Amino acid sequence: MRPDWDSYFLEISRLVAARATCPRKHVGAVVVSPDHQILSTGYNGSPPGADHCDDVGCELKDMGGRQSCVRTIHAEANAIAQAARNGVRISGATVYTTASPCYDCGKLIANSGIKKVVFGEKYDSRYGMSGDVMGFLIKCGVIVSGFEIKWRADGQSNPKPLLSECERLGCTALQHNDKCSK
């Protein structure tokens, strides 16, 4: 069966993640044009010329109450940087990423003009603000769509929606916004 576009590009982001050089988490990102053309890719890893965590170990610092690797650039940031480095316009694009973006990547996504984020799994960002990131993106006009990906032994995915309608629209448990059906 032919996969839909979201499943197709999420699968590609999973392959991109295999290039990651930080063993703590392998994340991949694919930036795609509105007409389904791949514009750039990125994975979490060190900048060119810097040591890789796989080679010398992670450079861990306490950030927001947990240990985070400061050597690694996140997949979404690397994909945006790759596009900029190559003069590729990404305004209006969609970013497909294996894990939901952290707050820093969320700001880069919104500022770069990316209009949609599709992620494969919800990731608890280092400041414990993962839910806030989704609300921030939505307030910035970015569409957010999450899937829980269950990878089968044959390598195919079986995505199912991860975010509720309220989460996609930026609602909180205490206050629904005017776009919500509740």
Q: Are 20 and 44 in contact (CB under 8 A)?
A: yes
Q: Is 104 helix (H, G, I), strand (E, B) or coil?
A: helix
Q: Which of 11, 59, 76, 167 is catalytic?
A: 76
Instruction: Give 42's Cβ-side CA count (13 Å radius).
Output: 30
Cα distance between residue 148 and residue 81, in whole Å: 27
Q: Are 108 and 73 in contact (CB under 8 A)?
A: no
Q: Is 59 labeled as catalytic in the residue annotation?
A: no
Cα distance between residue 47 and residue 82, in whole Å: 11
DSSP assignment letter at 134: H
Residues with catalytic roles:
76
